[in-house]
């Protein structure tokens, strides 16, 4: 029943066509529009009354008229078939930061000599974390989204989160409920922090207020995004009303059942303890209906999936089992009243992040409030490291998706768990409560693209993918379509078995370099958790890979004209320098302790030497990162400034908002350095001065005694 009820559904779309795929080819492979033919096979059904939940399929062949014929049972299947053709035959692809390389395909495209078939092993391939919309795409333009959506379509993603522009219609709901513009504006957060306002972690903004022009422009952007998503065979997940309301709400509705949520991350009460309208209050259902109906009117009846997270890093008012059950029961009833076909999508992150509160008994009580299992879909947000589906018996019958989190805050260290995302993902399909999808849930879409590609590829293979074979093919495509030097294959294979093969799950996310943290003589190295700095490989192995990588360009200098090679050269060198900085820091602190204990002149000389070396590394790193825009602070700031239009006050607010996220993260540095980046300009303009002050006080000033 569950599998039949969770259907691929896009409501009242009058007709389905493959035009979106032809448009993709025209955008990315100009001149080749007539070289492809796309067709949905006879087994395809589409619409509001389709009650099947099927895996997607495709086939690739050469038609009698000479076109490359791609057929399948869904648009997502066709797009995946196109991607397989482009990578396996033309050796081209679309990449993060680098952009589309599809135009590098040969003028005369090769034709398959046999028919190639493919089938997904899960019906759904999910993408995005709510916070990705702040850490990564806060200031994206339509051009940025076009590239992202093409990247997603080609990789078979068919269930993406769609948060852009959510505030416009929510503001209208609040206005209709009698709240003033000032009361509403004081509730909303700036672009770089909207995700946590949507989660009910924070309210308001510091450094300025969210402009109404931004709210309107994001709404217009969302409409374009949703059209493109549906054109490419994706079913967007839209936001539902969560219950979080402006602080003035109780004054207007004194009899409403409202509470103030828990404090978050040490923020002052002005910015947290968000007001929450309890779901059993009749006003909750009214506002839910208003919000969902406004979205259907604005976007069309394009989805039955609604994202709704009420306790993300916020504990409920009570741990009483009846209370928890009542909360979800009434939320579900309100959602179904607004959309009878609705499926409630929630992130399962809370069961890990606040696991002291969320006992198995409480989780079961909470989930069981949704009386029809098929009306909920849970994202097991950190399956590769902290799977909650196992301790919750597959979320007690609720459908769920196996997700790779991988990354906190858009941190940039090289990192992966390639065995976990192949072997463990496939093993879950053979469990008593298998997932109905695989998904990507990074906090920031920042780097390590290969591990995200790998999981999406695994969604189309019923046995664990051979990572050796996958890395070899991926390397060919990334630097193709011409022959790739063996040194590049060797470099990536070393990375595969070391940097990208962490099995030490006490440190289980992308590490950041200690150079990005506030300097100290203790507590920087070997961190785990949300600020991991632990290296799960021997630094010498990365140096070996780096040498092979650079050796490839010694033999083939033309590689330096390849944007993929340029990007990876900077990224790998960045990590080599970061690791060297850590080694120098360790030597410096050892020398300091020796000097502090014995007043040794030799130890002091070593400390002075290491200080100079560390600052040299920082300046070198800053110069390196500044060579490419994707590694530069100026790109992030320019995007923020451009989003503000011509109003100087808005420009200043947006720039401050962007700077604050990657440094202090809060008005008082509440989670400082959480979203730190190794970016040119940020290293030289922010991290270098901090380390200089640190050394001035500790070396020249002979400090650090405490």
Report which of 520, 517, 515 is spatially closest to residue 576, judged by C-alpha positions.
515
Q: Is 487 a domain residue?
A: no
List, in sequence order, every residue forming a beta bridge with 116; answer none if it has no partner.
60
Q: Are residues 292 and 433 in the same domain?
A: yes
Q: Helices 75-88 and 19-28 sit at what angle, rounded to 10 degrees?
A: 30
Tell me how far apart the alpha carbons of residues 283 and 252 are, in angstroms, rounded to a whole number: 12
pLDDT bracket for residue 704 (50, 70, 90): low
For 582-602, the pLDDT digits (tens) are: 999 999 999 999 998 898 999
Instruction: Report the number of distinct structural domains present in the chain.
Output: 3
Q: Does one domain contain both 566 and 450? A: no
Examine residue 372 and state whether it is found in any structural domain, yes or no: yes
Q: What is the rounded distance in angstroms from the CA atom of residue 183 to the CA atom of residue 188?
A: 9
Helix (H, G, I), strand (E, B) or coil at 237: strand
Residue 517 lies in a domain: yes
Q: How far is CA 355 from the centre of its chain?
A: 22
Q: Can you tell me the distance from the alpha carbon of 104 to that of 688, in angstroms, rounded to the nearest whole number? A: 40
Residues contacting 667, CB < 8 A, separation 6+: 206, 207, 268, 271
Boundary of a domain, candidates 75, 95, 119? 119
CATH no. for residue 573? 1.20.120.670
pLDDT greater than 80 at residue 678: yes
pLDDT at 3 > cutoff 80 = no
How far is 590 from 613, CA to CA, in rounded Å? 15
Which domain, by its residues, includes 80? 2-119
CATH number of the domain encompassing residue 25: 3.30.379.10
Same domain, 630 and 673: yes
Contact 70, 85 (CB under 8 A): yes
Largest CA distance in the chain: 85
pLDDT of residue 607: 93
Q: Are residues 62 and 131 in the same domain?
A: no
- Give mean pLDDT, residues 552-559: 96
HSE-up of residue 116 (Cα within 13 Å, Cβ side): 19
pLDDT for 531: 84
Task: Report the run of H or E that residue 181 belongs to, with start and end.
Answer: helix 181-185
Q: In terms of domains, do 86 and 161 share one?
A: no
CA-closest candidate to residue 296, choices 304, 308, 307, 284: 304
Average pLDDT over residues 564-579: 98
Mean pLDDT across 527-554 = 95
Same domain assignment for residues 7 and 154: no
Look at residues 407, 437, 466 and tell me which one is the last residue of a structural domain: 466
* E-assigned strand segments in 349-399: 376-380
Are 115 and 149 found together in one domain? Answer: no
Strand partners, 404: 440
Query: Which residue reads 């005694």 in tokens?
Result: 705
Q: What six digits make up the tokens of 480? A: 């193709």
Pair 433, 573 in one domain: no
Compute the average pLDDT of residues 115-131: 98
Residues 701 and 21: their CA atoms lie apart, in Å, by 65
577, part of any domain: yes
Lowest-confidence region among 43-47, 284-288, 499-503, 642-646? 43-47
Pair 111, 23 in one domain: yes
Q: Is residue 546 part of a domain?
A: no
User: Would you state the pLDDT for residue 6?
Assistant: 42
Asked whether residue 451 falls in the same domain as residue 516, the answer is: no
Q: Is 255 part of a structural domain of the chain? A: yes
Question: For 405-415, how does the pLDDT look when each residue is reduced to its tens digit (9 = 90+)?
Answer: 999 999 999 99
Q: Is residue 408 part of a domain?
A: yes
State whether residue 495 is helix, strand or coil. helix
How many Cβ atoms from other residues are within 10 Å of residue 178's Cβ?
12
Q: Give yes or no for a contact between 416 and 455, defined as CB atoms under 8 angstroms apart.
A: no
Distances from the Cα of 213 to the Cαs of 165, 533, 646, in angstroms? 11, 40, 11
Final residue before a domain boundary, out of 72, 102, 119: 119
CA pair distance 652, 649, nearest whole angstrom: 5
> Within this chain, do residues 284 and 378 fall inside the same structural domain, yes or no?
yes
706 in any annotated domain: no
CATH number for position 162: 3.20.20.80
**Host H or E run for residue 404:** strand 400-404
pLDDT-derived band of residue 515, with 50, 70 and 90 as boundaries?
Answer: very high
pLDDT per residue over 269-319, tens digit each?
A: 999 999 999 999 999 999 999 999 999 999 999 999 999 999 999 999 999
Whole-angstrom CA distances from 278 to 150, 207, 372 are: 40, 31, 21
Q: Could you give the angle at which helices 601-625 and 688-695 cross, rounded to 10 degrees?
A: 170
Can you read off the two tokens belonging to residue 663?
A: 């440094």
Mean pLDDT of 401-428: 98
Which tokens in the block code for residue 93? 């692809």
Over the stretch 601-618, which tens digit does the pLDDT of each residue have? 999 999 999 999 999 999
Instruction: Give yes or no: residues 186 and 41 share one domain.
Output: no
Mean pLDDT value of segment 238-256: 98
Contact indicator for 511, 411 with CB cutoff of 8 Å: yes
Residue 537: pLDDT above 90? yes
How far is Cα 265 from Cα 245, in angstroms, rounded to an integer? 20
CB neighbours (10 Å) of residue 522?
Answer: 7
């Amino acid at each position: 029943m569950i599998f039949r009820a969770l259907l691929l559904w896009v409501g009242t779309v009058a007709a389905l066509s493959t035009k979106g795929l032809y448009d993709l080819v025209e955008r990315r492979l100009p001149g080749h529009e007539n070289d492809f033919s796309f067709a949905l096979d006879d087994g395809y059904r589409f619409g509001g009354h389709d009650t099947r939940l099927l895996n997607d399929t495709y086939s690739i062949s050469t038609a009698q008229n000479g076109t490359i014929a791609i057929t399948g049972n869904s648009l997502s299947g066709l797009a995946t078939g196109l991607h397989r053709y482009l990578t396996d035959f033309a050796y081209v692809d679309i990449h993060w930061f680098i952009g589309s390389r599809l135009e590098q395909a040969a003028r005369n495209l090769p034709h398959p000599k046999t028919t190639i078939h493919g089938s997904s092993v899960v019906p759904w391939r999910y993408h995005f974390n709510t916070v990705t919309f702040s850490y990564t795409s806060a200031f994206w333009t339509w051009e940025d989204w076009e590239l992202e959506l093409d990247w997603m379509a080609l990789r078979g993603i068919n269930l993406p989160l769609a948060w852009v522009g959510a505030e416009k219609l929510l503001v209208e709901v609040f206005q209709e409920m009698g709240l003033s513009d000032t009361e509403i504006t004081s509730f909303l957060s700036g672009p770089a922090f909207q995700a946590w306002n949507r989660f009910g972690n924070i309210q308001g903004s510091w450094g300025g207020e969210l402009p109404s022009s931004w709210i309107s422009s994001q709404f217009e952007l969302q409409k374009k995004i949703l059209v493109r998503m549906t054109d490419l065979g994706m079913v967007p997940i839209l936001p539902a009303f969560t219950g979080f309301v402006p602080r003035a709400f109780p004054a207007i509705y004194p009899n409403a059942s409202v509470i103030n949520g828990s404090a978050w991350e040490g923020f002052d009460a002005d910015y947290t303890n968000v007001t929450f309208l309890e779901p059993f209050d009749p006003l909750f259902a009214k506002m839910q209906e208003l919000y969902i109906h406004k979205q259907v009117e604005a976007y069309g009846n394009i989805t039955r999936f609604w994202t709704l997270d009420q306790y993300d890093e916020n504990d409920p008012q009570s741990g009483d089992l009846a209370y928890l059950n009542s909360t979800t029961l009434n939320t579900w009833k309100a959602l179904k009243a607004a959309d009878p076909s609705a499926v409630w999508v929630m992130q399962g992150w809370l069961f890990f992040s606040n696991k002291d509160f969320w006992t198995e008994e409480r989780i079961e009580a909470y989930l069981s409030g949704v009386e029809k299992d098929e009306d909920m879909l849970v994202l097991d947000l950190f399956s590769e490291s902290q799977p909650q589906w196992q301790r919750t018996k597959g979320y007690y019958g609720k459908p769920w998706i196996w997700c790779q989190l991988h990354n906190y805050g858009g941190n940039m260290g090289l990192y992966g768990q390639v065995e976990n995302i192949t072997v463990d993902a496939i093993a879950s399909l053979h469990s008593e409560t298998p997932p109905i999808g695989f998904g990507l849930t990074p906090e920031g879409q920042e780097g390590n693209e290969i591990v995200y590609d790998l999981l999406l590829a695994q969604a189309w293979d019923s046995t664990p993918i051979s990572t050796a074979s996958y890395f070899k093919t991926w390397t060919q495509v990334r630097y193709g379509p011409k022959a790739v030097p063996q040194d590049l294959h060797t470099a990536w294979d070393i990375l595969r078995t070391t940097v990208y093969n962490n099995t030490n799950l006490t440190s289980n996310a992308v590490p950041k370099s200690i150079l990005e943290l506030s300097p100290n003589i203790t507590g920087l190295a070997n961190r785990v958790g949300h600020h991991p700095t632990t290296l799960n490989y021997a630094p010498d192995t990365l140096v070996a890979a780096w040498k092979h990588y650079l050796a490839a360009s010694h033999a083939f200098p033309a590689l330096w004209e390849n944007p993929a090679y340029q990007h990876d050269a900077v990224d790998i060198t960045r990590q080599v320098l970061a690791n060297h900085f850590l080694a120098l820091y360790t030597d410096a602190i050892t020398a300091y302790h020796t000097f502090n204990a014995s007043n040794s002149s030799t130890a002091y000389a070593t400390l002075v030497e290491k200080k100079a070396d560390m600052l040299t590394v920082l300046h070198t790193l800053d110069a390196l990162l500044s060579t490419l825009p994707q590694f530069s602070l100026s790109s992030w700031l320019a995007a923020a400034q451009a989003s503000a239009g011509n109003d100087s006050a808005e420009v200043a607010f947006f720039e401050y908002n962007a700077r604050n996220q990657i440094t202090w993260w809060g008005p008082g540095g509440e989670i400082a350095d959480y979203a730190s980046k190794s970016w040119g300009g940020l290293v030289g303009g922010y991290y270098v001065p901090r380390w200089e002050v640190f050394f001035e006080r500790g070396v020249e000033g002979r400090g650090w005694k405490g």
